[in-house]
């Protein structure tokens, strides 16, 4: 199983010039040197080669779009601030806090911060901040996350009502934002954006690219769509993988969707592998997602028959 452990999960992406093909090649050498089961290695090789070939060309959103989508659809972040002059031993050190946020129409995170909190005092003195936002359902470093570094400032009085309204749409139970010690903040300037879409799929996105990108129109529906498919159509998902990739897997879990396809996690040889399946054509709304999934289900069933 060494090959699967080393090369499992992430297929077909590049980062820093390092491709999964090189990872697989290195893993095969390790596996062959440590395993006497040639038949198992051959089966693994065939499985990984098919998976790699498919994932190399499968349609994906741009990383800028993924970054914008993660920020827009998220609701909590890890905020790293710089310890203020009164922070004692933390003065000048990175200080991490978990905060709630809501993205505004420009894709910029907004926050309701209490003056009693360390991070609010830090921001008031030095607005340089990095926020890290993980994909909904984040389980491990194999899952997507984005870090935005920029300048966080207090929201102008003229914009607080609009900011409050958008924030409460994301956090309807946040009655405490009207307490006297809370103030509104926004990341008004982005100086860096780092998006990790999974193993070997990471890049820097410029502020210009981030601002020009749009939020995926269907990703927000991932939870109910995936829950339904996983509960009621597990066999159909396995058939879709067989039809699209040409391999059989033991189980498949749909984890998220976007306008171009679905991200799944399958098991094979006792290990987990991320597998992306593309729609036949882009889906621009929830009805379109249903139509694409029905089409993929029918095509997979026809191929099997």
Output the domain CATH number for residue 78. 2.30.110.10
Q: Is the pLDDT of residue 42 over 70?
A: yes
Q: What was the pLDDT predicted at 201? A: 80
| More confident position, 139 or 287 | 287
Taking only the tens place, the pLDDT of each residue in 93-116 is: 999 999 999 999 999 999 999 999
Q: Domain boundary at 11, 40, 57, which? A: 57
Residue ranges making up the domain that contains 116? 64-212
Kindly provide the b/e burial profile for residues 131-149, where b requires at least 16 CB atoms within 10 angstroms of the residue's own CB. Answer: bbbbbbeeeeeebbbbbbb
Taking only the tens place, the pLDDT of each residue in 168-213 is: 999 999 999 999 999 999 999 999 999 998 766 889 999 999 999 9
Taking only the tens place, the pLDDT of each residue in 243-269 is: 999 999 999 999 999 999 999 999 998
If asked whether residues 180 and 140 sit together in one domain, one would say: yes
Q: Domain boundary at 57, 82, 100, which? A: 57
User: What's the rounded mean pLDDT across residues 222-246?
Assistant: 96
- Residue 141's pLDDT band (boundaries 50, 70, 90)? confident
Q: What was the pLDDT predicted at 26? A: 53
If asked whether residues 204 and 252 sit together in one domain, one would say: no
Q: What was the pLDDT predicted at 199? A: 62
- Closest-CA residue to 146 (of 138, 154, 157, 158): 138
- Residue 220's pLDDT band (boundaries 50, 70, 90)? very high
If asked whether residues 19 and 144 sit together in one domain, one would say: no
All residues at 6 or more sequence positions from 274 whose CB lies less than 8 Å from its CB, including other chains: 9, 10, 11, 142, 198, 199, 263, 264, 265, 266
If asked whether residues 26 and 95 sit together in one domain, one would say: no
Average pLDDT in the chain:
89
User: Model's pTM, two decimal places?
Assistant: 0.85
Q: What was the pLDDT predicted at 142? A: 83
Q: Mean pLDDT check: name the lowest of 22-26, 74-78, 148-152.
A: 22-26
Kindly give the residue spans of alpha helices, DSSP state H, lying in the chain. 2-7, 20-34, 38-57, 63-73, 118-125, 160-170, 207-212, 222-232, 234-245, 286-304
User: What's the rounded mean pLDDT across residues 78-99?
Assistant: 96
Q: What was the pLDDT predicted at 242? A: 96
Residue 98 near residue 138 (C-beta atoms within 8 A): no
User: What's the rounded mean pLDDT across residues 69-76?
Assistant: 97
Residue 249 C-alpha from the chain's centroid: 23
User: What's the rounded mean pLDDT across residues 39-68?
Assistant: 90
If asked whether residues 102 and 180 sit together in one domain, one would say: yes
Kindly provide the b/e burial profile for residues 261-293, where b requires at least 16 CB atoms within 10 angstroms of the residue's own CB. Answer: bbbbbbebbebbbbbbbbbeeebeeeebbeebb
Could you tell me the CATH number of the domain that includes residue 271?
Answer: 3.20.180.10
- Measured at the CA of 116, the angle between CA 175 and CA 191, to 5 degrees, comes to 90
Q: What percent of the chain has pLDDT over 90?
A: 78
If asked whether residues 6 and 114 sit together in one domain, one would say: no
If asked whether residues 39 and 68 sit together in one domain, one would say: no
If asked whether residues 91 and 198 sit together in one domain, one would say: yes
| More confident position, 22 or 151 | 151
151, containing H or E segment = strand 145-154
Taking only the tens place, the pLDDT of each residue in 11-37 is: 433 333 334 555 455 555 555 555 556
If asked whether residues 106 and 127 sit together in one domain, one would say: yes
User: What's the rounded mean pLDDT across residues 237-244?
Assistant: 97
274, containing H or E segment = strand 271-278
Residue 90 near residue 83 (C-beta atoms within 8 A): yes
If asked whether residues 106 and 198 sit together in one domain, one would say: yes
Total number of domains constituting the chain: 3
Report the distance separating Cα 223 and Cα 255, nearest Å: 8
If asked whether residues 190 and 146 sit together in one domain, one would say: yes
Q: Domain boundary at 168, 187, 212, which? A: 212
If asked whether residues 80 and 106 sit together in one domain, one would say: yes
Q: Is the pLDDT of residue 9 over 60?
A: no
Q: What was the pLDDT predicted at 41? A: 75
Q: Is the pLDDT of residue 123 over 70?
A: yes
């Amino acid at each position: 199983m060494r090959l699967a452990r080393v090369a499992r999960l992430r297929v077909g992406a590049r980062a820093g010039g390092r491709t999964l093909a090189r990872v697989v090649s290195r893993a095969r050498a390790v596996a062959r040197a440590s395993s006497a089961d040639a038949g198992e290695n051959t089966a693994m090789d065939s499985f990984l080669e098919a998976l790699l070939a498919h994932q190399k060309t499968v349609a994906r959103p741009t990383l800028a779009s993924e970054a914008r989508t993660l920020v827009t659809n998220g609701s909590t972040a890890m905020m790293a601030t710089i310890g203020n002059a009164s922070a004692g031993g933390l003065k000048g050190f990175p200080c991490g806090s978990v905060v709630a946020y809501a993205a505004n129409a420009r894709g910029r995170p907004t926050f309701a911060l209490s003056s009693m909190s360390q991070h609010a005092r830090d921001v008031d003195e030095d607005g340089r901040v990095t926020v890290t936002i993980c994909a909904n359902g984040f389980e491990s470093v194999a899952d997507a996350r984005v870090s935005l570094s920029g300048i966080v400032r207090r929201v102008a009085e003229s914009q607080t009502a609009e900011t409050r309204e958008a924030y409460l749409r994301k956090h309807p139970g946040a009655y405490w934002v009207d307490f006297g010690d809370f103030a509104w903040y926004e990341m008004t300037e982005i100086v860096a954006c780092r998006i990790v879409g999974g193993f070997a799929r990471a890049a820097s996105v410029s502020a210009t690219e981030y601002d020009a990108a749009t939020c995926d129109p269907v990703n927000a529906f991932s939870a109910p769509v995936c829950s339904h498919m996983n509960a009621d159509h597990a066999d159909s998902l396995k058939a879709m993988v067989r039809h699209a990739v040409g391999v059989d897997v033991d189980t498949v879990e749909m984890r998220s969707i976007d306008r171009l396809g679905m991200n799944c996690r399958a098991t094979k040889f006792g290990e987990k592998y991320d597998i992306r399946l593309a729609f036949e054509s882009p889906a621009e709304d929830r009805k379109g997602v249903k139509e694409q999934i029905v089409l993929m289900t029918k095509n997979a069933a026809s191929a099997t028959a």
